[in-house]
Amino acid sequence: MAVKMIAVDMDGTFLNSHQDYNREKFSKLYQQMKQQDVRFVVASGNQYYQLKTFFPEIEQELSFVAENGAYVISEGKEIFSGEIPSDLIQEVLTILADFEEGHTILCGKNSAYVGENEPDSFIEHGSKYYHRLKKVSNLSEVKNDTLFKFALSFPVEQVDEVLERLAEVLGDKLVPVSSGHGDVDLIVPGIHKAHGLMKLQELWGIQNHEIAAFGDSGNDFEMLKHAGHSYVMSNGQPNVKVAAKEIILSNDEDGVLVKIEELLEN
């Protein structure tokens, strides 16, 4: 059965270690996708305003499952937005205050927000992934935006322990997922990348078995289980490799583009 949707994670998957991709090769493949009526979907934990900068010529043609599925945009139009209730935001901020080595970005539809007391190095790191990032005196004072995700950062060696602790204290209110490099996202239960793909499937009448998905981290797990054709990068996390049908070349070997070329030829 032919593939009708190709969904790619970005960091560690589509993007190489230099935060870029083989633009010439992708451009040729993208023309083939259009000819074959295959939808190309960017599915990432990152902010929509950051993701679209990777595809300046075609961003108005593409679909984005941004913020781990909390914000879905197709051809410049909003398809879906999640939301965390304000009382839960306050509760989580109180919980996070007990995590001494953690840093927090609060993600919303209009912008992401960071406390002005966070170290400059963290704010600089955050601005790579959140092109709209506002400094505020206190995250608990953020109003007038739809807030749908917490993006946390911890020392890499603490991540497994942090994930366990967060899962314990949050219960079923928010789900902690690893997105690589010491980053942990707190997402609304049931609103993940696979949920974002489902919103687009409804729009286009595409079945699960017609989707090819590519990922490398814990936040790709549901999407990989959901797609009929699922691929994990050889540089992917070991616990994610079990979710995919096939392990492919690494992100530094154009693994995604090599596999897309194969899929389009079949």
Q: Which one is catalytic: 9, 11, 216, 254?
A: 9
Kindly state the greatest CA–CA separation across the chain: 55
Write out the residue limits of the CATH 3.30.1240.10 domain(s) in the chain: 86-187
Q: Where in the chain is the domain with CATH 3.40.50.1000?
A: 5-81+191-265
Active site residue 9: yes
Q: What pLDDT digit, counting tens, does each position of 4-46 carry? A: 999 999 999 999 999 999 999 999 999 999 999 999 999 999 9
pLDDT in the model for residue 248? 98
Chain segment 147-159, per-residue pLDDT in tens: 999 999 999 999 9
pLDDT at 139: 96
In this predicted structure, the answer to whether residue 1 has a pLDDT above a threshold of 80 is no
Ranges 2-16, 108-122, 165-179, 245-259: which has the least confidence: 165-179
Q: pLDDT by residue (tens digit) across 135-190?
A: 999 999 998 999 999 999 999 999 999 999 999 999 999 999 887 778 899 999 99
> pLDDT tens digits for 62-82?
999 999 999 999 999 999 999
Fold of 5-81+191-265: Rossmann fold (3.40.50)
Fold of 86-187: 3.30.1240
pLDDT tens for 179-236 read 777 889 999 999 999 999 999 999 999 999 999 999 999 899 999 999 999 999 999 9
- What pLDDT was estimated at residue 135? 96
Mean pLDDT of 95-120: 94
* pLDDT at position 178: 85
- What would the mean pLDDT of 93-111 be, rounded to a whole number? 94
> What is the pLDDT at residue 245?
94
To the nearest whole number, what is the mean pLDDT of the chain?
95
